[in-house]
Chains A and B, each alone.
Chain A
């Protein structure tokens, strides 16, 4: 029941004189604006915003919302994004005025509950990482990468070491080399083998004393636990370098192995992935980082400290918390404290699961992924082999050369059957890649239905698939025209 009338651009719904929100009358003695502000600073008229009523606005956006696929409505096996269920209790918690309406600069004494939650998050993230210190400041995973690299740069500067290179595997997220460049490093690409593991010959050839950091994603982007993790970490440490763990794939290893246990010196988390988000249509996320002891003095401020009392469920109220800036801090990486609303949801998620529950999350995420892999590799080859962690990368390369069906065609056709597409064309190290991450919050029935649909699609006519999807309101936007003559706002 498509409603195209109310989903016209909001500007096209505007009628002069309509209002959606009426503000109260001024209850203080009012002065002429011209007497309060200089004439040169004043606008002739307010900006040309649309003029619409509240019912119009609601109908417009509710109809727009119905044009989206989401975790609450569809299976969303978007590899590398961990699209798991977003618990409703977390949303209720985040909406409480005692969290949502707290001001960042109110006295610490008046925000002790907030500080306790944040302190607990620091402690929990340190334990899951096996690291010594935590900063909740970064606003997203990529921001966490940048922050950690700035910490590393400050550390080496302080040590009097001139290290300018960051090693990044060729199948890493694009954010890794981009973050390295922003932090003032030069990134050097290390090749990976067919199973997605670091090519050790290439690694050894590129490892020298100029290496500041090796940024590694483990499990890696093809869903394999790095086969030479310990050896890589030892070799980098021996040369005085640091290991950064891109924590995008933490959903595979919660309570099973810890980055600090396998040699990482710093890492970020993606709470919007691992700890149930939600993703918000692209954000907000958060990107807290943990680091080993020697890097702790450089963390951005502020961090939460417990300066009195005892931690624990019975004595919580007796504890006292305050904000502090680490001694040699790199400074601030954003205004205010952190994305506390996202961290609170993550806190609720972690507290709902406890230690056994978090381990069960990873176990079931890995079980679901392996089950899908076992069934899908008969339809689409999976170059990495017959096992994976929380996700795997299939290839439509053979299907493309045999029948002319590409990864994109499969992705688009899945939409017709009510499945969100997997991630396609990443990582680029696998041709015609289809990266699938089911997460633990899907049932075997859903996974079976997905496999059967995938099988059916591969049997379909290539030309029909090249025009897919067929049942959605729009199909295959002209991306070339969009990029060649960008229309980024309506006039």
Chain B
């Protein structure tokens, strides 16, 4: 076995020290009838070279952002990752350490997390950030639980239909046994109607959850929504795209009390959706209800500045069933990546990044809108994603055909929004060149032509 040290001589010496006859004897406390009397039925061992060949074979069967041209978004994005981010995160002093319980030998991790928390507060315009959660979806659910706890309102939580459908599903799952209703306010024109929202928010509403820019890429009237929530005494939860904050107002500035996001865009690869980075920041007044770990600055016994895990009485290992959450770790390695990423891009880089996404996505939107086959589904302003409608209603086939050409064209929406079955969500990041964008328009039109031809053939014409 490649990672075991004990030689037969070592084992014999160790058994002698223990006073046991054999390794098997060390398992005597397990009753014989509970033991497995055969080898596990799993595939046989592979050497390093065979393993690598096997993994390469599997990897080779996955289209990916290096082997294709991707226009997919929906919460997972193909943004550029500077090499320095990889270099930092591949320091094994970072990635082979664990939660910094012993501050004296974990100042590197602790300071990195403190810097992460500081960056997130600056990014969101809120007072406090935790050290991160699993992902954007579960972070949103945690924010909702926080709001229910803080307001002591167990009536309902109000979600925008334009909030990521999988975030909405996650919230519903988390609330299933807690006696809180989930009310969803429609967004048939791509954004939430303020009057419709106001009609659902009452004095038993714990929170309003709004994504801005929303799942369709559209900008919501976030400031007005926050006002509606606050007028009813509800907590405003804003779900944001970190990259958008190069141009857009910060959640804390438009009135969010809690801001959550998927932080994968900040230097972490997509990895089929995970592992990624759940960002959660809030106002100072909510800090004692904040889930997850927190790092604070203090001094040591000699008076030297240092960092330490703090406010641990909120957490499960002390408060057990009364804790703010069961979360006991954070996504430290990706918080580190986000810290390195944000430091590298800086304020101007973030603005440039946001502007490139904005300009390029608008360019593609215009190009598609200019074809006879496609039209934009919504009129609302968009940031880096938009919804496009196929007038011939053959989105699934178009996407499949484009994939065979090496283009990941968009995400069909019918599974989540039946009324958008003829639509797809298209995303353009800074990585897409004009040539790639123009080529996609061609591919979609050729595909569209092909799909139409197929239909004619099938119809026997």
A257 part of interface (Cβ distance < 8 Å): yes
Report the Cα distance A109→B106, complex, angstroms.
44
7 tightest Cβ-Cβ pairs between the two chains A and B: A336-B273, A98-B59, A184-B177, A354-B45, A104-B273, A335-B137, A284-B275
Chain A residues within an 8 Å CB radius of B45: 351-354, 356-357
Chain B residues within an 8 Å CB radius of A225: 29-30
Cβ-defined partner of B118 (8 Å) among A46, A177, A490: A490
Report the Cα distance A426→B99, complex, angstroms.
15
Q: What 5 new A-B contacts, CB under 8 Å, besides A282-B329, A476-B300?
A: A36-B381, A68-B100, A71-B92, A98-B59, A284-B274
Q: Are A486 and B296 in contact (CB under 8 A)?
A: yes
Complex A-B: 5 CB contacts under 8 Å: A20-B84, A20-B344, A52-B346, A100-B270, A178-B325
Taking A100-B270, A139-B138, A335-B166 as contacts, is the C-beta distance between A479 and B308 under 8 angstroms?
yes
Q: How far is the CB of B95 from chain A (nearest CB, A)?
A: 5
Number of interface residues of A (CB under 8 A): 209
B64 part of interface (Cβ distance < 8 Å): yes
B227 part of interface (Cβ distance < 8 Å): no
List the one stretch of B193-201, B310-318, B368-376 in contact with chain A: B310-318
Chain B residues within an 8 Å CB radius of A19: 346, 348-349
Chain A residues 406-441 with CB under 8 Å of chain B are 411-412, 415, 420-421, 423, 426, 440-441
In the complex, residue of chain B having the shortest beta-carbon distance to the beta carbon of A143: B134
Q: How far is the CB of B173 from chain A (nearest CB, A)?
A: 4
Taking A49-B119, A66-B93, A174-B323 as contacts, is the C-beta distance between A139 and B274 under 8 angstroms?
yes
Interface flags for A262-291 (1: CB within 8 Å of B; 0: not) read 100000000000001111111111100000
Report the Cα distance A413→B349, complex, angstroms.
45
Chain B residues within an 8 Å CB radius of A186: 321
Report the Cα distance A180→B64, complex, angstroms.
39
Q: Are B173 and A278 in contact (CB under 8 A)?
A: no
A51 part of interface (Cβ distance < 8 Å): yes
Interface flags for B197-235 (1: CB within 8 Å of A; 0: not) read 000000000000000000000010011000000000000
Chain B residues within an 8 Å CB radius of A229: 34
Taking A175-B328, A184-B178 as contacts, is the C-beta distance between A335 and B88 under 8 angstroms?
no
A249 part of interface (Cβ distance < 8 Å): no
B145 part of interface (Cβ distance < 8 Å): yes
Report the Cα distance A60→B44, complex, angstroms.
44
Taking A353-B45, A356-B45 as contacts, is the C-beta distance between A361 and B1 under 8 angstroms?
yes
B443 part of interface (Cβ distance < 8 Å): no
A481 part of interface (Cβ distance < 8 Å): yes
Q: Are B100 and A340 in contact (CB under 8 A)?
A: no
Chain B residues within an 8 Å CB radius of A50: 342-343, 346
A33 part of interface (Cβ distance < 8 Å): yes
Q: Are B326 and A101 in contact (CB under 8 A)?
A: no
Q: Are A47 and B347 in contact (CB under 8 A)?
A: yes
List the one stretch of A202-210, A236-244, A365-373, A454-462 in contact with chain B: A365-373
Q: Are B219 and A114 in contact (CB under 8 A)?
A: no
Q: How far is the CB of A103 from chain B (nearest CB, A)?
A: 4
B19 part of interface (Cβ distance < 8 Å): yes
Chain A residues within an 8 Å CB radius of B106: 67-69, 281
Report the Cα distance A184→B36, complex, angstroms.
36
Q: Are A474 and B97 in contact (CB under 8 A)?
A: no
Chain B residues within an 8 Å CB radius of A160: none
Taking A338-B273, A355-B39 as contacts, is the C-beta distance between A113 and B60 under 8 angstroms?
yes
In the complex, residue of chain A having the shortest beta-carbon distance to the beta carbon of B25: A387
Cβ-defined partner of B271 (8 Å) among A71, A113, A300, A341: A341
Q: How far is the CB of A47 from chain B (nearest CB, A)?
A: 5
Report the Cα distance A255→B23, complex, angstroms.
14
A224 part of interface (Cβ distance < 8 Å): yes
B58 part of interface (Cβ distance < 8 Å): yes
Q: How far is the CB of B269 from chain A (nearest CB, A)?
A: 4
Chain A residues within an 8 Å CB radius of B330: 282-283
Q: Are A286 and B339 in contact (CB under 8 A)?
A: no
Report the Cα distance A75→B175, complex, angstroms.
42
B250 part of interface (Cβ distance < 8 Å): yes
Q: Are B331 and A68 in contact (CB under 8 A)?
A: no
